[in-house]
């Protein structure tokens, strides 16, 4: 429904008298330069009217489109900020100023009368803020939004200070990916809270992935309204000129970025314990609700707050960081798949990809468990367990670290090109063979200490890196592993508040 023109009953009556005066004076007008410029401004205002209708969110799409989109977010819209504000939308100060101008126009010339009406219409169209104090900024944002442009790759072109949906004020860019960009925004409908806004490229395949992610995030919000299961919380979503935008709680650095910024210094074992427990808890929640994440990696596990303490290492002559709180959230549900949905052949980022995926034997929730095993190892030693980009080499690394691939999996796979007489077709005398031999070793040889705690950790990792998905540990079993027994006695857990919402 268009919102560009609305009148109260008193305004409708005055509007009629205005048109009468307009008709009575029409024959007196002369063709001057000011008249042509006025008509040009009228045409520009009509374009702004049509622009404003286009710029609204999914709530104003056609009935057919709304029926398709309602399954994603209607429940959230009902519980949050309604877009149908009706006549209450207009604030009293604008009604008073309208009446004041109308009374002045009776005494002034037709040209000043028409100019006042035009200014009033412009103010009413552009002022879309709930608070009077932000009305000026809202008008500025509407003027900027008239020229929405994309770059060659489909990214939205924006500047710091721009407003989206007359609600989100862009503060800074947080990151960029193949899907689009993430920006930090001030949400003026949530009291100026800082949020992370994911702006998807205006490319159909990424937009479709964003719709699927919204569907998953809606399910998570529905099943976990108190946000106790450590999955990132979605606040809002909308379509901005072809860019799907999703508003999330603002978090800190990813566990990978913190590791990289810290010169790949491994996390202490007590922090590894706490982070591993939280990841298992979050992904178990997904599995309990018939979801597989399919893209678990350190980049998709974010600290709630990545503030750190700095200390100087005399031996290595460098500063080293230690994160103050190891509370984390699991993010990026763009590839998450429900049990009943189509399962694509290849999932997961290469280094965290399970053997059943590489061998195309079919996959389900256990492929997430394999990824978690690789992640925990990376937290402990500071580097990736399987550093490769080739399937055959990847399988050779697995055999070097974990032992031979089970014959049952070899017999069942369609990828027989990787095998010869039931064994991996791999020549250790090639350059690739030497690389694997020199850079990979049996799993237990990566232990940095012979303490019982470290052996318990590797026992957990071994159970997660079991070749056979049916024999791989479940996350419910993993959470009961002896490695987590000391969790409540360590200082890192005292700072963990899983229900904390730092964006409020």
- The binding site comprises 198
Pairing, β 318-323 against β 328-330: unpaired
Annotated binding site for ATP: 198
Structure tokens at 481: 């592993």
3-state secondary structure 385-405: CCCCCCHHHHHHHHHHHHCCC
For residue 16, CA distances in Å to 7, 11, 19, 22, 197 come to: 12, 9, 5, 10, 45
Query: What DSSP string describes 54-77?
Result: HHS-GGGS-HHHHHHHHHHHHHHH
C-alpha span between 320 and 313 (Å, rounded): 7
- Is residue 385 within 8 Å of residue 443, measured between CB atoms? no
Distance from CA of residue 179 to its chain's centroid?
10
Query: What DSSP string describes 151-204?
Result: -TTSPBP--TT-EETTTEEEEEEEEE-SSEEEEEEEETTTTTEEEEEEEE-S-H
C-alpha span between 373 and 276 (Å, rounded): 9
Instruction: Using the structure block, give the residue that is written with the tokens 């007359």.
Output: 166
For the chain, how far is it from start to end, CA to CA, in angstroms?
33
8-state DSSP, 417: G
- Is residue 163 within 8 Å of residue 141, measured between CB atoms? yes
Instruction: Using the structure block, give the residue that is written with the tokens 């939308």.
Output: 89
Query: What DSSP string describes 298-345?
Result: GGGEEES---EEEEEETTTTEEEEEES---EEE---TT-EETTS---S
8-state DSSP, 80: S
C-alpha span between 500 and 504 (Å, rounded): 9
For residue 489, CA distances in Å to 312, 485, 492 come to: 27, 9, 9
- Is residue 141 within 8 Å of residue 64, measured between CB atoms? no
Instruction: Please identify every residue annotated as catalytic.
Output: 295
């Amino acid at each position: 429904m268009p919102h560009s023109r609305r009148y109260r009953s008193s305004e409708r009556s005055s509007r009629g008298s205005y048109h009468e005066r307009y008709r009575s004076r029409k024959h007196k007008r002369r063709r001057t330069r000011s008249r042509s410029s006025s008509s040009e401004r009228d045409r520009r205002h009509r374009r702004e009217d049509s622009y404003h209708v286009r710029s609204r969110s999914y709530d104003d799409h056609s009935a057919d489109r709304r029926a398709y989109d309602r399954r994603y977010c209607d429940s959230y819209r009902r519980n949050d900020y309604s877009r149908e504000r009706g006549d209450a939308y207009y604030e009293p100060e604008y009604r008073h100023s309208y009446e004041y101008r109308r009374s002045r126009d009776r005494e002034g010339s037709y040209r000043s009368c028409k100019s006042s009406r035009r200014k009033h219409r412009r103010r009413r169209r552009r002022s879309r803020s709930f608070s009077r104090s932000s009305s000026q900024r809202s008008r500025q944002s509407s003027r900027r939004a008239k020229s929405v442009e994309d770059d060659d790759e489909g990214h939205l072109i924006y500047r710091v200070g721009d407003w989206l949906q007359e609600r989100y004020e862009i503060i800074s860019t947080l990151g960029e990916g193949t899907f689009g960009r993430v920006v930090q925004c001030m949400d003026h409908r949530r009291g100026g809270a800082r949020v992370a806004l994911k702006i998807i490229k205006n490319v159909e395949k990424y937009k479709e992935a964003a719709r699927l992610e919204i569907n998953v995030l809606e399910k998570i919000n529905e099943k976990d309204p108190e946000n106790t299961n450590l999955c990132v919380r979605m606040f809002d979503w909308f379509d901005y000129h072809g860019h799907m935008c999703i508003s999330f709680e603002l978090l800190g650095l990813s566990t990978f970025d913190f590791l990289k910024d810290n010169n790949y210094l491994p996390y202490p074992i007590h922090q590894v314990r706490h982070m591993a427990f939280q990841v298992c808890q979050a992904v178990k929640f997904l599995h309990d609700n018939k979801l597989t994440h399919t893209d678990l990696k350190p980049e998709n596990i974010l600290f709630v707050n990545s503030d750190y303490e700095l200390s100087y290492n005399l031996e290595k002559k460098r500063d080293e960081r230690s994160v103050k709180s190891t509370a984390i959230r699991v993010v990026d549900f763009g590839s998450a798949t429900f049990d009943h949905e189509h399962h694509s052949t290849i999932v997961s980022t290469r280094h965290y990809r399970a053997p059943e995926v590489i061998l195309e034997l079919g996959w389900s929730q256990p492929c997430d468990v394999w990824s978690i095993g690789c992640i925990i190892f990376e937290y402990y030693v500071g580097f990736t367990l399987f550093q490769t980009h080739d399937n055959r080499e990847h399988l050779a690394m697995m055999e070097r670290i974990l032992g031979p691939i089970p014959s049952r999996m070899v017999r069942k796979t369609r990828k027989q090109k990787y095998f010869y007489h039931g064994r991996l077709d791999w020549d250790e005398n090639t350059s690739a063979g030497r690389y694997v031999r020199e850079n990979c070793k049996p799993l237990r040889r990566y232990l940095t200490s012979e303490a019982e705690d470290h052996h318990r950790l590797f026992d957990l990792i071994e159970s997660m890196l079991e070749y056979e998905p049916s024999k791989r540990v479940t996350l419910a079993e993993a959470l009961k592993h002896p490695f987590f027994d000391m969790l409540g006695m360590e200082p890192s857990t005292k700072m963990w508040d899983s229900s904390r919402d730092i964006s409020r």
